[in-house]
Structure 1
């Protein structure tokens, strides 16, 4: 069943702040990827009856790739760990509970690790599904042609595939053995080049 893509975003102080942070530090292509990741995941959840914390998922989606940005790229820490720690700092400053801050950190770390089910961790599952679709075209059957067109009209790719691959290749060069390096070695470049959203 195709995913019904949401028309709106969470209207909370933390959500607005996450968008402001992502807009400030992400490139336009990376920002749009982060927003699309929320939209694809929320739509997928609706199509499959997956209950999730909308604000938590939105904030995690908007912040999940901050570790790839020039300002926050770590030369030693894997990108997902760096992004998760930044999310923890952000959420702590937003006044979230320690458990909720830890959840945001975990969602971002887990999105580049072994698959988790919606029953185990719905927000982590959604970010895994959404980012693997937006980056490398996995599960295309989940997203209808109409929804793809509507999302891309609002948040175009702007050369995202090439920019993302270059960032991952740089991560792999500096941090052998990290998840990004495994993705590069596993052929993510070919999947990005063949992405149906760029056809």
Structure 2
């Protein structure tokens, strides 16, 4: 598996999702979102997991949009805020309600410890890919050459430090959120030790 083998959906919704992420995310968070899709799509292809590329791509581009100032909610966890943004985005893209709901589910579930691949392949892939990119889970599941290509094309730009600050802020303001649980369980240490940063 090489970077050139990963299919990027060329649909109006996919292009618009990248445009939204580019406008609102920091450079580090944007590259993280792009890598989240690339890791997810590569893993799916390598492991025979059928997935909806457009749905996965849009969800990856918007999965952390709830962390940015313009969409940060004071009432719900950032992944739920991101899910709401995705629902609205899907409405603007002309997606049926069921597809909008799916995008929101995929984004919310990326924070789960595990997502059943049979019930939600896109959620499973995004949970797995973000776990790799943020806290360094299972890098051995990806060929070293692919890891080098992806990181060379879309560098990390200090995402570890930036994301740690974001997640700590979310935890402080939303103590019942999954983010707060992650902080209590030592996510900052796992982020700092991510082998992708070496």
The alignment's TM-score, normalised by the length of structure 2, stands at: 0.97
Whether the 8 Å contact between 2:91 and 2:97 is mirrored in structure 1 is yes
2:100 is matched with: 101
Instruction: Output aligned runs, 1:31-180, within 5 Å.
Output: 31-180=30-179
Segment of structure 1 superposing worse, 88-97 or 113-122: 113-122
Paired with 1:121 and 1:4, the residues of 2 have a C-alpha distance of: 25
Paired with 1:8 and 1:122, the residues of 2 have a C-alpha distance of: 16
Deviation at 1:143, TM superposition (A): 1.4
- 1:152-197 Cα offsets, whole Å, 9 max, x none, are 1110000000000000000001000101101111111111111111
Deviation at 1:140, TM superposition (A): 1.4
Shift in alpha-carbon separation, 1:53–1:8, aligned structure 2, 3 A: closer
Paired with 1:4 and 1:37, the residues of 2 have a C-alpha distance of: 16
| Number of residue pairs aligned between Structure 1 and Structure 2 | 197
The alignment's TM-score, normalised by the length of structure 1, stands at: 0.96
Whether the 8 Å contact between 1:80 and 1:108 is mirrored in structure 2 is yes
- Runs of 4 or more, structure 1, over 6 Å off, are none
Deviation at 1:76, TM superposition (A): 1.7
Shift in alpha-carbon separation, 1:4–1:124, aligned structure 2, 3 A: farther
Paired with 1:157 and 1:23, the residues of 2 have a C-alpha distance of: 15
1:187 is matched with: 186
Paired with 1:96 and 1:114, the residues of 2 have a C-alpha distance of: 28
Unaligned segments of structure 1, at least 5 residues? none
Unaligned segments of structure 2, at least 5 residues? none
CA RMSD of aligned residues (A): 1.0
Deviation at 1:113, TM superposition (A): 2.1
Determine helix, strand or coil for the equivalent of 1:112. Answer: coil
Deviation at 1:7, TM superposition (A): 4.2
- 1:97-134 Cα offsets, whole Å, 9 max, x none, are 11000000000011112412211110000000000000
